[in-house]
Structure 1
Amino acid sequence: MTSHQNTQTMKPATAAKKLGVYLEATPAEFQEGVVSRTELNELQADPPAWLQELRKNGPHPRPVVASKLGVSIAGLARGGITEPLTTEQIDALKQESPEWLRKERATQAEVRKETARIKERDAERARRAQEA
């Protein structure tokens, strides 16, 4: 019995998401083809110039914009940010520090604090359960 391995492929949108780049800003050949797992690994290990440029200057997809601003994706929407932003635009927003951004960052900090508290509480409960 011979073993043959199927090549695992993904849509360009999935590959772009995994690479953390905005699909519409990628080269046409990337957008129009399919990406194999091997090709994705190669792009991650040795990114070509276009990928390096996109990661550095954007435009960035919403998850990346949210991360760079320290807010949630929902927080971006509440702040009226619905389009991809470049690194320059993100830096300008940080400099301006509008009220919505300060508020969303504070909210995100509270969420992180609460998540840590719950994790600590659950670890303590697990420790007690093991002792009993």
Structure 2
Amino acid sequence: MSQEKNSQTMKPLTAASKLGIYLPATPEEFRNSSFTRAQLDALRNDPPEWLTELRRTGPFPRDVTARKLGVSNSGLQRADVADALTTAEIDTLLADPPEWLTRERANFVAVREEADRVKAKDADRRAASNRPAKNRGV
């Protein structure tokens, strides 16, 4: 006799994170439930109206807000942006960027460029170390 396999469940915060939504903005029923992978997939594949609306207008969690603004999560923290922002608030910031947003966007680009430079340098170093050594006067 085989026992039925128990599905692992995830907490609402984990499910919200995987869906890219801000947990406090979800319906109470969502916040008080646990989810299986199948239930999460069902929400992804056939989202209810509240989920569609939340994804469209927000408020968004910090990582989504940062991505939409083109800054890092740390940049939002440095700017004291503590609350989740809505699409309208993000659009307002992008339309007339405050000094902190301009600075953080430039910083984000510089950090990305440096990371790309280091990655390319490491790749070149690895490629060079994998080349066969030439005969050295032997």
TM interval, shorter chain, is over 0.9
Q: How many Å apart are 1:6 and its aligned residue?
A: 2.0
* Equivalent-residue separation in structure 2 for 1:5 and 1:116 (angstroms): 45
* Equivalent-residue separation in structure 2 for 1:42 and 1:69 (angstroms): 29
Kindly, what percent of the aligned residue pairs are identical? Answer: 50
Q: Which residue of 2 aligns with 1:124?
A: 124
TM-score by length of 2: 0.91
Q: Which residue of 1 aligns with 2:48?
A: 48
Pairwise CA RMSD = 1.2
Greater percentage in helix = 1
One-letter amino acid matched to 2:114? E
Provide the secondary structure at the position in 1 that maps to 2:52: helix
Which aligned pairs between 1:96-115 and structure 2 lie closer than 5 A?
A: 96-115=96-115
Q: Which residue of 2 aligns with 1:38?
A: 38
Q: How many Å apart are 1:3 and its aligned residue?
A: 5.9
One-letter amino acid matched to 1:2? S
Structure 2, gaps ≥5 residues long: 133-138
Mark the CA change 1:3 to 1:131 in structure 2 (over 3 Å): closer, same or farther.
Answer: farther
Q: Which runs of 4+ in 1 moved over 3 A?
A: none
TM-score by length of 1: 0.95
Count of residues in correspondence between the two structures: 132
Structure 1, gaps ≥5 residues long: none
Q: Which has the larger radius of gyration?
A: 2
